[in-house]
Amino acid sequence: MDTFTASSKLLDLLGTLIGFSTIMLLLSLIVTSMVQFIQSLLQLRARNLARGVAAALEDAKIEKRDAFTLARKLLVKPMSSKRSSPDKTPGYYDNVSWIEPSELKDNLKAAAKDATESDISVFEAKFKSIQAFLRKRFALHSRIVSVCCAALIAIAFQVNALDLLRDLSVSPELRNQYLEGSEQVLAAAENIPMSTLSYQEVSDLALSQIGVLYPEVDTLLEEVSGVGSSREQIVEELRSLLEAVVPDRAGEMTAKYEDLLEDMYRAQAGKALDQAERLTGQIAYFNLDLLPNGWTYYGELTNWLGLLISIVLVSLGSPFWFKWLATLSGLKDVLKREDKKTDGSS
């Protein structure tokens, strides 16, 4: 009897933690989708790169009055020849979030005709030296946007972490409802990118398309990981391999790979809002509504403590809560199997 009671209490505790983690995962997935949409809408990557180029322009004394405007004009990339318009006029990507140093140099020479070779050399050195800083700054900006979105969601739906834990611990019906919903949320999480959008997220799909377009290198592409902290690293990995094996066509294939990465990145960003809407639809299952307790809810200081805890927890990110929820669910299944064995033996 004591063993049964202890096991029952442990299952109840796991049910409470699983229900709580389910809500945190669902909210963090919504936040991630919102961040992806905001990144796309505000072109945060492109603006971050443009600020870096502007800083290099100012340092090289090429442009001081409106360096940012000139930087945006420099950040254009021609599409590959197969992507040109019907009249054979080359197409261009504007506001790009990454560009080859050689292309940037050529664009600068065309736009700033008064710039000397010495000025351009200073510009190149400065721009190269701030690459790591630009990546860190973008990560910081993404983190700030993420925390702001987490605050918006937690406050709007009045998700109080302390109240949620209390309700789950005292209500078997609520625990069972959330346990059933946890499987749906885990399934949804498997089909949604759980980090802020990056080129690495779409590199596998781009590589598969390269294999279809160029079947002669399909087997070779298995050696390409598509992993990198920047788009430059991702593209360079493929370029190095192609130049060693098919040097005559390496340039063409790499250009096509860049086109695919750019197209898929932008397309994936455009889906972020749809993902957020679908996830928001699941919120109704968990009895979460906008302003369920009215505006007076915000007048209690203790409520703000619970809201702040929720904001911090949601800000941990969907990868954290996905792993945590999957671990708890697995532990619950193991415990249930052990209980059945115990019941059978007795």
Could you read off the pLDDT of 72-111 as tens digits, one per residue? 888 876 654 443 333 334 455 566 777 778 888 888 888 8
pLDDT in tens, 44-82: 888 888 899 999 998 888 877 778 888 888 887 665 444
Tell me whether residue 114 is in a domain: yes
User: 27, 34 in Cβ contact below 8 A?
Assistant: no
Q: Check pLDDT > 70 for residue 346.
A: no
In terms of domains, do 165 and 265 share one? no
Q: Check pLDDT > 70 for residue 146.
A: yes
Structurally, how many domains does the chain consist of? 3
Reduce the secondary structure of the chain to three states and give it as a string. Answer: CHHHHHHHHHHHHHHHHHHHHHHHHHHHHHHHHHHHHHHHHHCHHHHHHHHHHHHHHHHCCCCCCCHHHHHHHHCEEECCHHHCCCCCCCCEEECCCCCCHHHHHHHHHHHCCCCCHHHHHHHHHHHHHCHHHHHHHHHHHHHHHHHHHHHHHHHHCCCCHHHHHHHHHHCHHHHHHHHHHHHHHHHHHHCCCCCCCCCHHHHHHHHHHHHHHCHHHCCHHHHCCCCCCCHHHHHHHHHHHHHHHCCCCHHHHHHHHHHHHHHHHHHHHHCHHHHHHHHHHHHHHHCCCCCCCCHHHHHCHHHHHHHHHHHHHHCCCHHHHHHHHHHHHHHHHHHHHHHHHHHHHC
User: 39, 142 in Cβ contact below 8 A?
Assistant: yes
Predicted local confidence at residue 21, as pLDDT: 96
In terms of domains, do 16 and 124 share one? no
pLDDT in tens, 297-339: 999 999 999 999 999 999 998 889 999 999 999 898 888 777 6
Q: Which of 225, 247, 270 is the last residue of a domain?
A: 270
C-alpha torsion sign, points 169, 174, 180, 186: negative
Tell me whether residue 149 is in a domain: no
In terms of domains, do 124 and 31 share one? no
In terms of domains, do 256 and 336 share one? no
User: 209, 82 in Cβ contact below 8 A?
Assistant: no
In terms of domains, do 260 and 292 share one? no
In terms of domains, do 25 and 166 share one? yes
Q: Which of 253, 270, 287 is the last residue of a domain?
A: 270
Is the model more confident about 328 or about 42? Answer: 328
pTM above 0.75, yes or no: no
Q: Which domain holds residue 115?
A: 44-136
Q: Using a pLDDT cut of 90, give the percent of the chain over it.
A: 31
The CA-CA-CA angle for residues 120, 126, 130, to 5°, reads: 145
In terms of domains, do 24 and 129 share one? no
Tell me whether residue 246 is in a domain: yes
Tell me whether residue 141 is in a domain: no
In terms of domains, do 103 and 249 share one? no
Q: How confident is the model at residue 144 (pLDDT cuts 50, 70, 90)?
A: very high
In terms of domains, do 79 and 122 share one? yes
In terms of domains, do 65 and 124 share one? yes
